[in-house]
Structure 1
Amino acid sequence: MLAAFEQRSEMKIDRVETFVLKVPLGAERFYSSQAEFPERNSLLVRLTTTDGVVGWGEGGQYGPAEPVQAAVDAVLGPRLLELDTTDPGVVWEHLYASTRDYGQKGTYIEAISAIDIALWDLTGKYLGVSVSTLLGGRFRERVRAYGTGGYYRHTGLDPARDLPALQDEVSRYAESGFSMLKMKVGLLPVREDALRVAAVREALGDDFSLLADANHAYTSSAAIAMGRVLEEARFEFFEEPVPPEDRAGYARVRAAIDVPVAGGEAEYTRYGFRDFITGGCVDIVQPDICVAGGISEVQRIATLASTYNLRTVPHVWGSGVALSAGLHVCATLPLTPYGYSAVPLQNEPVIEFDRTPNPLRDDLLVNPAILEDGHVAVPSGPGLGIEVNMEVVERYRTA
């Protein structure tokens, strides 16, 4: 390994390539409280060293991927080629400092995230070890997964008409092996979404773990009303109850309800999470590795969260690359707080395993993640432990 380390210390990035991927969903489109999803999209970054080693990263899943691609192609990629190091933490600081004046949140941080993930993949491949080993080692070889589903299938819903279809959907998740599910709320009035919540609880029974995600649909008063509904239905967290800018609203909701409040998928870097955490906003911190700053920065965010005895449950919304990065990070998170027994979500991290239609998640990798006994295994090969299927990349590539 020493020889590999010495060789890696001299390696340079020779090519920075980006791939915008889009998959139209057609009749399978769905809705959250904020948006219609007519397609699944993402940006992949491929870094190739002078001796041909390849690392993959991902960003650009939240909105249009093209701005993130432009940030990589026109700004960050050329700077990466100028650096004499490929050490992820060092590169992160260089790239962030060079764009700080105009890129503290949003597009540039997503672009840095994609590059950072690819650099961790490269480093692991050079040293012949997994990313989770590089991060300090694994506490677990597999991670309990919660399914994300229960979206709205169209607007103008008649809850009474659509409840049977919702119950059929969530029952299929349970039959496939999930014991934990996150559903959507926030598109409808609270009283109508309450019917959906009750229907899901009825379909899955009292022992099934349920979570809710409003995608910041509410004022604090409406979120508290929805929180009361979730309390009665024994939900285990309430994600993004209010807009991310409304720190006081988050704190008000958290103080008023007994359901743990989660959030952070729309926050960026340790600096944003510092204010989010010290503002008393959440019980569960949810940085997205492809958005918040990559693996390097999510390590720092998780450490910061642990000093406040808060749980970290990374948000995952992307391709198989994003899911693999999330699994490696989850593998390295200790129990928070420590206990003699690991209890999923209570003190042990879980992984989001989105169940909406997405060939980029299911087909992009040669060996995609699968659910077994309610868990997903952490990839074991060097780096991220994945192999990207270039035929699938070219099939869905638009730029």
Structure 2
Amino acid sequence: METFVLKAPLGDARFYSSQAAFPERNSLLVRLTSSDGLVGWGEGGQYGPPEPVKAAVDDVLAPILCSLPDASPAVAWDTAYGRTRDFGQKGTFVEAISALDIALWDLWGKALGAPVSTLLGGRFRERVKAYGTGGYYSHTDFDAARDLPALAEAAAGYAGDGFGILKMKVGLLPVHEDARRVRTVRETLGNDFALLADANHAYNAGAALAMGRVLEEAGFLMFEEPVPPEDRAGYARLRSRLDVPIAGGEAEFTRYGFRDLFEAGCVDIAQPDVCVCGGLSELQRIAALASAHDVRVVPHVWGSGIALSAALHACSTLPLTPYALRPVPLQNEPVIEFDRTPNPLRDDLLTEPLTLRDGYVDVPAGPGLGVEVDLDVVERYRIA
């Protein structure tokens, strides 16, 4: 069991969300090598600093898992969580378990000669409709003459790349200034283009309600993380008062966290991140809970090519929610997040990058995750 802390500086391409500047892309990769030479890859630690996740794997979880007589994903997951739940129910340790779980599924698929999606129960689709995440901030202030034309140009570029769905960022600026950005994107792309917004939990419920009204007027189809993840009452208030579907969950962990989110009536769309919520094993359980509450699942993706490939396999196994004769992306069929900010860890890490084709991304077909890692790229960005 090996861990790799990767950091790719972005230089002048840094960008901002409502919460932080992004001067680099980082992640924590795990490589498992079996006694017969097979290799499985997993990922975690791409939200905050990856070093704590590395320590959790190296110092706590590796000795536990390497001593198991059966390291299949289900056995490994429950053992790892059971032995760390007293101090690790959320955050670093669950991210570490996520990375190991993904790597175990990859390894298991290679051992059996089958894709992870087959082992998870089978695919409903061979490709997944993608939405582009863009419309970030290039500055922390607002200058209409500078920012609105650049935003319009970027939005038109995403449409030109083949996207039919775009998610833009809100929340860094006062509501009335972000409202101008929202209207600029709508006017640029037209009324038939599907638009989503992500506040990265920047608002209290009152401000989120004001922004939600703006998004409703502009015909947006999703309002992601409008309030802090701890504010369950705020989520429920917004969901009861807005017509735009409310999404959240990228900062939630395990079936237990999502159980509470669903029972409180917080979201129309759940967004577990496979590299954060507990891995592929736990995402299956979260999806089952979501189905029981008639909540759509649209996995969040933020990481390297390993994260994207794992999310593609997960998306391929999700049924329509609710079932209908015709699949409609986002309305009842899952879609995949395809971030448009610079990300060498996604675009360069795999020997065959995962790319957009006619607005979709193909689910890898090979054994395990179906992707191969370029070790030269790993070493290029490795710092620990």
Aligned residues: 384
Measured after TM superposition, the shift of residue 161 of structure 1 is: 2.5
* Partner SS state of residue 199, structure 1: helix
Deviations 1:22-44 (A, max 9, x none): 01111100000000001000000
Question: Any residues of structure 2 matched to 1:110-125 within 5 Å, and which?
Answer: 110-125=95-110
Measured after TM superposition, the shift of residue 160 of structure 1 is: 3.9
Q: Which amino acid aligns with 1:211?
A: L
* Partner SS state of residue 7, structure 2: strand
Measured after TM superposition, the shift of residue 347 of structure 1 is: 0.3
Unaligned runs of 5+ in 1: 1-15
Deviations 1:180-200 (A, max 9, x none): 000000000000000000000
**Equivalent-residue separation in structure 2 for 1:195 and 1:94 (angstroms):** 51
Contact residue 134 and residue 169 of structure 2 kept, 8 A: yes
1:136 to 113, 121, 143: 121
* Partner SS state of residue 371, structure 1: coil
Question: Any residues of structure 2 matched to 1:375-386 within 5 Å, and which?
Answer: 375-386=360-371
RMSD: 0.5
* Partner SS state of residue 290, structure 1: coil
1:288 to 266, 270, 273: 273
Unaligned runs of 5+ in 2: none
Q: Which amino acid aligns with 1:65?
A: P
Match of 1:239 in 2: 224
**Equivalent-residue separation in structure 1 for 2:39 and 2:256 (angstroms):** 31
Is 1:214 the counterpart of 2:199? The answer is yes
1:273 to 244, 258, 274: 258
**Equivalent-residue separation in structure 1 for 2:145 and 2:319 (angstroms):** 43
Measured after TM superposition, the shift of residue 92 of structure 1 is: 0.1
Measured after TM superposition, the shift of residue 156 of structure 1 is: 1.4
Is 1:80 the counterpart of 2:45? The answer is no
* Partner SS state of residue 208, structure 2: helix
Is 1:173 the counterpart of 2:158? The answer is yes
Contact residue 142 and residue 177 of structure 2 kept, 8 A: no
1:155 to 131, 140, 143: 140
Structure 1 runs (4+) greater than 6 angstroms displaced: none
**Equivalent-residue separation in structure 2 for 1:160 and 1:136 (angstroms):** 52
Is 1:198 the counterpart of 2:183? The answer is yes
Contact residue 223 and residue 246 of structure 2 kept, 8 A: yes
**Equivalent-residue separation in structure 1 for 2:32 and 2:192 (angstroms):** 45
**TM-score scaled by structure 1?**
0.96
Match of 2:130 in 1: 145
Q: Which amino acid aligns with 2:319?
A: P
Measured after TM superposition, the shift of residue 170 of structure 1 is: 1.1
Measured after TM superposition, the shift of residue 244 of structure 1 is: 0.2
Measured after TM superposition, the shift of residue 158 of structure 1 is: 1.5
* Partner SS state of residue 131, structure 2: strand
Match of 1:363 in 2: 348
Match of 2:383 in 1: 398
Question: Any residues of structure 2 matched to 1:17-96 within 5 Å, and which?
Answer: 17-96=2-81
Is 1:334 the counterpart of 2:334? The answer is no
Match of 2:303 in 1: 318
Q: Which amino acid aligns with 1:186?
A: G
**TM-score scaled by structure 2?**
0.99
**Equivalent-residue separation in structure 2 for 1:328 and 1:177 (angstroms):** 22
Q: Which amino acid aligns with 1:298?
A: L
Q: Which amino acid aligns with 1:24?
A: P
